[in-house]
Amino acid sequence: MRDDLWTPHVYDWAKELWAKGMSSSQIAGVIGHGMTRAAVNAKAFRHRNDFPKRPPPVPKRAAVTGPAPVVDNGAGRAWTERKFGECAFPVGGVGADTRSCCAPTTGVYCDHHQEVMYARD
């Protein structure tokens, strides 16, 4: 990385972006002009007082809470034999032998599997 890219203006801009929580890759992309993620990391490492350490990231998915539906894998029906209004979540088997949860539902999955499939990040 050329030192002439780190003008006082670029340095202050990088500090502001860092304080907003942007990643090194994002900062390098915003600054442009041949700036790399490694150059931003190196500058942040050498100037730790201006680029404070960040807290660890929050896990993207929270654990699904609530009781799971009672599913007896042996009693479940083949996925293709489930009836309208029964959960399509696979609970066992492979390929043509895939078995479905078959718990009652108003959509594609029962309430528990709906939370599992569409958990927000």
List, for residues 96-110, the tens digit of each pLDDT value: 777 777 777 777 788
72-98 in b/e burial notation, b at 16+ Cβ within 10 A?
eeeebeebeebeeebbbbebeeeeeee
Confidence at residue 38, expressed as pLDDT on a 0 to 100 scale: 92
> Looking at residues 62-70, what average pLDDT do you find?
57
More confident residue, 88 or 31: 31
pLDDT in tens, 5-33: 888 898 998 988 888 888 888 889 888 88
